Structure 1
Amino acid sequence: MLTIADRLDKIPFILADSKFQSKEGLGNELNFHVFDYNPDEELLVQDFILELPERMLRVNTMKQIQIFNLYQIVIHFFERKKYIEKNFLMEERDGSEQLFNRMRSALKVATAQDEIVKYITENIEEDTIVIITGVGAVFSLVRSHVILNNLQTVVENRPLILFYPGVFCNGTLKLFGVFEDKHYYRAFQLVER
């Protein structure tokens, strides 16, 4: 069994491989991958992601990565709409469940106007490898399988890696190893455990 350090060390080499970048061997499937890890390894994974651009240079690839943190995207949305203070007041007045429902509604999660997907669409750069992080921080507000489904047409011609604090096995996403998400069959395991 590989340690988290061993698994993370493999990632730059995988991403630099031209076969990975061109979807070779995926049978015409999307180039979507999940890197699952134990939630208690979150800080190690976050540090690795920050170092990933430099590590990519060390393996002699010119391929750029672009990191989208779901939590930061959600915060950016509510700051831009000037909803942060209103959200605190609403929670105080109406309770957490009401706030949660209103936040999901404002983000239009799982609709054609999904604000997270819209943000990624507006900010994605050409010819990059897309990295999605922050899954655990937005848990229950945003579901991983929904984001992956909604990104299929946006990111269809490039690799996407979802860093997932939980278990991804046989198409099943299980956040924190506890909360089962719906199946997502179109992704592949990036590095076996």
Structure 2
Amino acid sequence: MLENAGSRLKTWLVAGVGTAAAIAVAAVMGAFGARHEPLPVLAPASQIETGEWLLRPLKAYAAEGDNLYGVPLKPGTKALVLEVEMTNRTAKSTKDYFDVLQANQATIDPATKPFIALTRDSTLSPELHPGLPERMAYIWQLQDGAAPPASLELTLIRKTYKQRDNLYGLPGWFNPAPIGTLKLPVGSGPDTADIQP
């Protein structure tokens, strides 16, 4: 009886030490093996395909005011604005564009999503129809007292179309992943000239 208990204790100890060693080896391999290549730098004047969208960056600028494209900014608040031409590549109208551009600025809270407006009529977060290019303004409110940066740095995110997802068996755009970075000079207002190729 005592011999069986000792044998079991010995087995558990060996298994525990083996498990701990396996975890340690996996952690070391992960630390050295997970070298990520830097994301490609995308040309600001080019058309960029992100799965659902074709994007053409137009201009970036700093602005302030309480009603920029209908966005309810606090009086005296500064904002970074990116104007971009967007074309919906899907077969139906959608507004799935909030995460396609992510600002990489210390002056913008990364947890804050931008306001997005149609520039021609200041409609906030409209559905964009298939195949029709629209000029949109992404507007990030700067933190209180923050000065606008000299350039706007962005990461672009692509989604992949799946005929059936694993959870519901329905079609859709899934698996968001970064495809590259973009850097645009920040002008001083909405009259800044468009970026030319």
The TM tier, using the shorter chain, reads: under 0.3
Flag the structure with more relative contact order, 1 or 2, with Cα contacts below 8 A and sequence separation at least 6: 1
TM-score by length of 1: 0.22
Structure with the bigger percentage of helix: 1
Q: Looking at CA atoms only, which structure, 1 or 2, has the larger radius of gyration?
A: 2
